[in-house]
């Protein structure tokens, strides 16, 4: 079924890192069941009727509110769908004790009755029912926050991972689905690990096939090869996953250099490689389709290796602050030519909102500046933060030119943002962002970034399909 629509109103985007482009006009989109792209754009259009006459088609016109705008959908380049119930639960932990205390018990509970989370449970465990609730909720939640594309980690469990793919596909989010690979006995708990390299590879292959059966094109839902991080996989498993990624031409995601104790541990486990990045490179996991989460403590040489291999970085500032992992030097990565996008890293990160990640990226960059003699060159602007959340993310997930902006040929992956106009008696719609009317559009965008939340997201489309509407 095809269904044409015109979208008219204000369009704001960040075509370049420090440029906020604010235009009014209209675009014509054919929804094609969630595969719709912008067929035409016209920035001279001044109203719905003008749009119909300029495009020469009689189709419904969707108009953005006068006090709002269309903005490209956010791209979450790193999120653990399975960890959403733990968002905000991390105590005083840091990465390695956080994993064993909070994360492995929760993840295992989505596929195994052996999870320590069920130890005190009176009810008989029903792991798949748990997975269903968690995955339904996280996809609805991220869509309501304007995330149109997400790169997910599920768990080691094949059936539950397939369920995540089903739910993302049904709800219409563009989603990369990772079945988590972890099989190194000394690094993974007995209750939560793959039995062997063979099991890891067989279940990964099955998940690849399942995602292909849902969406043969891979444009909406696709498998992403997911070695959890170097310590959690046997070296042979890392090699076979690298070979599989090449053979199947698939994306890869993993973690790198998030925490100093982790970096030390990788040195001990892989004495033959000279750095963390070399470990992945040695196993052919540093590809142009690889997303490396965190990259907080990379050396210059590692940054250069990552750039040479055209691998990408997912910056997860909320997580790095919550787990006390450190300050990711985003400006340095960008200056070194590494592509960077943003990730929420739920539940290392406490919030599933990419808008919150934009805020946190701005804040952390100022701490980096402070630690570098107060040099403000390290500070990210609001426009740069938004660029990382859209265009930067598009590069990171290999969708540059397809999502992240309003150019002809791009998917209509878009959020409609609204804010509250304050009247003379002080009343305003409850959107969390109050606008008095004299602010420039650039300033309104800044207010949205610093104070916004899902109340500002009125409607969301992926590939022209309406996937969320705020009621």
Query: What are the residues binding Fe ion (CB under 5 A)?
Result: 293, 345
Shortest approach of ligand GUN to residue 259 CB, angstroms?
A: 8
Q: Does 103 bind ligand GUN (CB under 6 A)?
A: yes
Shortest approach of ligand GUN to residue 90 CB, angstroms?
A: 10
Q: Residues 50-89 vs ligand GUN: string with x where CB under 6 A?
A: ------------------------------x---------
Element (H or E) spanning 237, and its range? helix 235-248
Query: What is the 8-class DSSP label of residue 349?
Result: B
Positions in 345-364 near ligand GUN (CB under 6 A) = 345, 348
Shortest approach of Fe ion to residue 254 CB, angstroms?
A: 9
Which CB atom, from 101 or from 308, has the smaller least distance to ligand GUN?
A: 101
Looking only at Cα atoms, what is the longest distance across the chain? 70
Of 318, 313, 320, the C-alpha closest to 344 is 318
Q: Does 184 bind ligand GUN (CB under 6 A)?
A: no
Which CB atom, from 229 or from 448, has the smaller least distance to Fe ion?
A: 229
**Which residue of the chain is nearest ligand GUN when measured via CB?**
348
Q: Does 315 bind ligand GUN (CB under 6 A)?
A: no
Residue count, binding to ligand GUN (CB under 6 A): 11
Q: Report the partner that residue 117 touches, choosing among Fe ion, ligand GUN, none (CB closer than 5 to 8 A by kind).
A: none
Q: Residues 239-278 vs ligand GUN: string with x where CB under 6 A?
A: ----------------x--x--------------------
Shortest approach of ligand GUN to residue 222 CB, angstroms?
A: 21
Shortest approach of Fe ion to residue 337 CB, angstroms?
A: 24
Half-sphere exposure of 276 (CA within 13 A, CB side): 27
Which CB atom, from 67 or from 83, has the smaller least distance to ligand GUN?
A: 83
Which CB atom, from 242 or from 452, has the smaller least distance to ligand GUN?
A: 242
Q: Is 410 exposed, middle or buried (0-12, 13-18, 19+ CB in 10 A)?
A: buried
Which CB atom, from 182 or from 293, has the smaller least distance to Fe ion?
A: 293
Q: Does 183 bind ligand GUN (CB under 6 A)?
A: no
| Torsion on CA atoms 28, 463, 311, 215, rounded to nearest 10 | -140
- Cβ density class 368-382: b for 16+ within 10 Å, e for less: bbeeeeeeeebbbbb
Phi, psi of 184 (to 5 degrees): -85, 110
Q: Does 228 bind ligand GUN (CB under 6 A)?
A: yes
Shortest approach of ligand GUN to residue 228 CB, angstroms?
A: 5
Which CB atom, from 70 or from 229, has the smaller least distance to ligand GUN?
A: 229
Shortest approach of Fe ion to residue 322 CB, angstroms?
A: 12
Q: What is the DSSP pairing of strand 251-256 with strand 290-294?
A: parallel
Q: Measured between alpha carbons, how far is 101 from 98 in angstroms, rounded to an integer?
A: 5
The DSSP result for 80-144, as a single string, is EGGGGGGTT--TT--HHHHIIIIIHHHHHHTT-TT-GGGTT-SSPP-HHHHHHHHHHHHHHHHHH
Count of CB atoms situated within 10 Å of the CB of 2: 10
> Both tokens of residue 333?
């990565």
Q: Report the partner that residue 258 touches, choosing among Fe ion, ligand GUN, none (CB closer than 5 to 8 A by kind).
A: ligand GUN
Q: Which of 161, 319, 353, 415 binds ligand GUN (CB under 6 A)?
A: 319
Q: Which of these ranges, 95-103, 119-127, 357-365, 381-389, lies near ligand GUN under the rule CB under 6 A? A: 95-103
Q: Measured between alpha carbons, how far is 372 from 136 in angstroms, rounded to an integer?
A: 43
Q: Measured between alpha carbons, how far is 366 from 200 in angstroms, rounded to an integer?
A: 41
Spatial contact of 234 and 183, defined as CB atoms under 8 Å apart:
yes
Applying CB under 6 A, the residues found at the interface with ligand GUN are 80, 95, 99, 103, 228-229, 255, 258, 319, 345, 348
């Amino acid at each position: 079924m095809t269904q044409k629509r015109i979208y008219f109103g204000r369009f704001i985007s960040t075509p370049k890192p420090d440029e906020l482009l604010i235009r009014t006009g209209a675009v014509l989109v054919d929804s094609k069941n969630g595969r719709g792209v912008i067929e035409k754009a016209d920035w001279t259009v001044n109203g719905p009727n003008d749009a119909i006459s300029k495009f020469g088609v009689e189709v419904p016109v969707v108009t953005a509110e006068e006090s709002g705008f269309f903005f490209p959908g956010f791209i979450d380049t790193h999120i653990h769908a399975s960890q959403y119930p733990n968002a905000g639960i991390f105590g005083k932990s840091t990465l390695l004790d956080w994993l064993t205390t909070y994360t492995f018990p929760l993840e295992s509970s989505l596929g195994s009755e052996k999870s320590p989370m069920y130890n005190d449970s009176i009810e008989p465990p029903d792991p798949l029912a748990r997975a269903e609730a968690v995955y339904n909720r996280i996809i609805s939640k991220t869509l309501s926050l304007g995330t149109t594309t997400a790169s997910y980690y599920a768990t080691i469990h094949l059936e539950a991972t397939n369920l995540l793919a089903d739910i993302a596909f049904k709800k219409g989010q563009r989603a990369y689905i990772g079945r988590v690979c972890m099989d190194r006995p000394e690094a993974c708990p007995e209750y939560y690990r793959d039995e062997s390299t063979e099991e890891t590879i067989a279940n990964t292959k099955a998940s690849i096939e399942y995602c292909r059966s849902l969406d043969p094109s891979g444009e909406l839902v696709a498998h992403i090869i997911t070695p959890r991080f170097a310590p959690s996989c046997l070296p042979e498993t890392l090699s076979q996953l690298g070979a599989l990624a090449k053979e199947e031409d698939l994306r890869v995601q993993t973690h790198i250099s998030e925490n100093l104790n982790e970096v030390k541990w990788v040195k001990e486990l892989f004495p033959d490689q000279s750095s963390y990045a070399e470990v992945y490179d040695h196993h052919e996991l540093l590809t142009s389709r690889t997303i490396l989460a965190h990259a907080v403590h990379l050396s210059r040489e590692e940054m250069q290796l990552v750039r040479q291999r055209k691998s990408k970085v997912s910056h997860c500032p909320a997580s790095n602050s919550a787990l006390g992992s450190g300050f990711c030097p985003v400006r340095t990565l960008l200056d070194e030519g590494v592509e960077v996008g943003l990730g929420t890293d739920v539940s290392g990160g406490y919030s599933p909102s990419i808008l919150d990640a934009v805020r946190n990226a701005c804040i952390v960059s100022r701490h980096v500046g402070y630690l570098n003699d107060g040099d403000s060159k390290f500070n990210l602007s609001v426009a740069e933060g938004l660029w990382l959340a859209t265009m930067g993310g598009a590069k990171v997930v290999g969708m540059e030119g397809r999502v992240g902006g309003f150019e002809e040929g791009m998917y209509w992956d878009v959020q409609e943002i609204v804010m509250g106009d304050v009247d003379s008696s002080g009343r305003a719609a409850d959107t969390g962002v109050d606008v008095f009317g004299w602010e420039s559009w650039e300033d309104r965008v800044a207010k949205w970034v610093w104070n916004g939340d899902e109340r500002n997201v009125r409607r969301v489309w992926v590939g022209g399909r309406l996937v969320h509407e705020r009621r």
